[in-house]
Structure 1
């Protein structure tokens, strides 16, 4: 039998012995740790970190410089003096208009869209009003000899043109800057889509230029070019992107006796009234459609319209003659009516390319009375021409 502890020692132990409530709390804590230990360990083993959501800044300007994303731009332009709360919008490629973001009111400034651009310029900047400026750093964007898709009649250098200065200009709007071209981002924008140019040789030149800009980044087995027998329909395919860039030769947009891209009727041009669907069947389902028509209407005399169901090859034809202005108006009304009826405005972007200035009489831009554009190698500086 152990001797009793001294009174002082017994009193000290009684003072340090934990309360019964302490054992209850300790038991509960151990139970909780055993219950959730496996989940806690698995989190730390996977090194999963729970992101902390930043507290939104309200009524404050961005302390860091914000950048607006523009495709085809190397680097980003700085936006200065703009508040963060005005610029948030979600984008739909090639969409006319923009959907509102969930949970946000559409309070942002009205912005104008640039074709194929992710990013925007402020409304009021007219990209069609500007001038050609010399650009030694970024031009030309491709060399003629590098592109196998240029038709022989468009190969200026191969046919002996001595100067190359015309290749070193870019368009500069007065009130804003255009995005710099980037082929990869362009193809990403066209992934799974069709882009088509429709019209005469002016749009064919635009089409060929677009193909030459894009084809260089594609491996040989990832691209192809196919044409119909009469070359009225040409299709360039970027296979890895499931994208096509196409050209439909239709100088009047309406059916005409000049629809063969190789053999044209130059002097005796004739158009069929109400025949927009002849070419229109090629346009259905296109995501980006670029029209042009102008120069072929300028015959200097009345335009002939074939009426009824007759053929251009018929000896006897029911023909109506219209002035150039009235004939052109018929074509414009036909194309607008077709677009409204057949195009989904939420899916398709439709553009109309304006006319190219004539360059037949050099006297019109300050040249010799009997001259033309031969040996003209500098820009016409007169903004009124």
Structure 2
């Protein structure tokens, strides 16, 4: 390591591998330097048992939303927290919070999208809070959009609730029960994040499952079609039409903006409901990951993923100086049916109920700690690769 210590900060020819090693040394860390950085597909691999466990616990992190606090809510097994994503052809270091905060000093990062985005932010917060406790400096009325500040590093982290990424009028309660069709403007990026966009250095965007909802589609403030709306003289266009148009609008705004932002575009997250959906008795009671070849994407997720890859390919070829990266977590998520809250999104859900009582399951979001923590290993790998 002595040769590394002689490298000066102003050297401009440092490789990503050396940068990672320098950050590790500066923070007195023992890290495994990645092999094949820049040439390895980090999204192809498998889940490997990791006896060291997660970098935090539900006791050492107080920002876990109660729906994801599976251990506190009484989940009896814990094997699901002892797995780590491992790429097939290279090693990547475990996420190191000191390194991340050093890299993000004076910067601002936002996660824009639906509840999967919020789930990811909570995981990142839990890991970072082991080094520095952030201060929540903003939340909206429904506590769906929030902002935190890490004073020692002058780093701002935000989550912005925008489940369609474009402008939408939603008629739905907090339990997911709708009183009317969503009014979705496919050609107008959502002002919730657009109005804040110039403040960000990094953004991660994600959408998907909300496009399956009943919706009426607008372009130029005119109805162009709908999805399962059953309105006379309104054409059924399907969710994939809307998803494609919304992604085109979003990616076009980002890549054509004069404000250049480093953007991660995350792919769809499949759910693992079995024998029903979230509102029809579906459940997820598996306790180990799938192995390669044991499962495959459902038709709906395949359609979404195909749209995402097609629109990303078009957008990345015309970025006008901004940076756009694919954050391809679909396959990672597909292999983890064991990592969801299931019935343990509620506090001790079977307490006081008869044996084999039916309760609502969450087979889409992730327990914290849980599989989603590995997404941060990939996040820092991509950022340091730049």
Which interval holds the TM-score relative to the shorter structure? 0.5 to 0.7
Q: Give the 3 Å change call, closer, same or farther, for CA 354–197 of structure 1 in structure 2.
A: same
CA distance in 1, matches of 2:38, 2:221: 48
**Counterpart check, 1:379 vs 2:289:** yes
Partner residue of 1:241 out of 153, 156, 161: 153
In structure 2, what is the equivalent of residue 183 of structure 1?
97
Q: Shift of the alpha carbon at 1:349?
A: 1.6
**Counterpart check, 1:208 vs 2:122:** yes
1:115-163 CA-partner distances (Å, limit 9, x unpaired): xxxx8844431001111111012x2111012222111111111111111
Q: 2:164–2:246: 8 Å Cα contact kept in structure 1?
A: yes
**Counterpart check, 1:170 vs 2:84:** yes
Q: Shift of the alpha carbon at 1:296?
A: 1.1
CA distance in 2, matches of 1:340, 1:259: 31
Q: Shift of the alpha carbon at 1:283?
A: 2.4
Q: 2:49–2:82: 8 Å Cα contact kept in structure 1?
A: yes
CA distance in 2, matches of 1:371, 1:262: 19
Secondary structure in 1 aligned to 2:199? coil
In structure 1, what is the equivalent of residue 106 of structure 2?
192
In structure 2, what is the equivalent of residue 136 of structure 1?
51
Q: Give the 3 Å change call, closer, same or farther, for CA 238–343 of structure 1 in structure 2.
A: farther
CA distance in 1, matches of 2:234, 2:186: 10
Can you give the 5+ residue segments of structure 1 that lack an aligned partner in the other structure? Answer: 1-52, 54-66, 79-118, 364-369
Secondary structure in 2 aligned to 1:247? strand
Between 1 and 2, higher relative CO (CA 8 Å, sep ≥ 6) is seen in 2
Q: 1:232–1:261: 8 Å Cα contact kept in structure 2?
A: no
Secondary structure in 2 aligned to 1:256? strand
**Counterpart check, 1:70 vs 2:20:** yes
In structure 2, what is the equivalent of residue 258 of structure 1?
170
Q: Give the 3 Å change call, closer, same or farther, for CA 230–192 of structure 1 in structure 2.
A: same
CA distance in 1, matches of 2:146, 2:236: 32
In structure 2, what is the equivalent of residue 327 of structure 1?
242
Q: 1:274–1:334: 8 Å Cα contact kept in structure 2?
A: yes
Q: Give the 3 Å change call, closer, same or farther, for CA 216–195 of structure 1 in structure 2.
A: same
In structure 2, what is the equivalent of residue 278 of structure 1?
191
1:2-24 CA-partner distances (Å, limit 9, x unpaired): xxxxxxxxxxxxxxxxxxxxxxx
Q: 2:46–2:292: 8 Å Cα contact kept in structure 1?
A: no
Q: If you compute each CA radius of gyration, which structure gives the higher value, 1 or 2?
A: 1
Q: 1:305–1:320: 8 Å Cα contact kept in structure 2?
A: no
Q: Across the two proteins, how many residue pairs are aligned to each other?
A: 263
Q: Shift of the alpha carbon at 1:275?
A: 2.0
Q: Give the 3 Å change call, closer, same or farther, for CA 290–261 of structure 1 in structure 2.
A: farther
Q: Shift of the alpha carbon at 1:277?
A: 4.5
In structure 2, what is the equivalent of residue 39 of structure 1?
none
Aligned CA-pair RMSD = 3.4
In structure 1, what is the equivalent of residue 264 of structure 2?
351
In structure 1, what is the equivalent of residue 353 of structure 2?
none
Secondary structure in 2 aligned to 1:332? helix
Q: Shift of the alpha carbon at 1:380?
A: 1.6
Can you give the 5+ residue segments of structure 2 that lack an aligned partner in the other structure? Answer: 1-5, 7-16, 224-230, 297-386
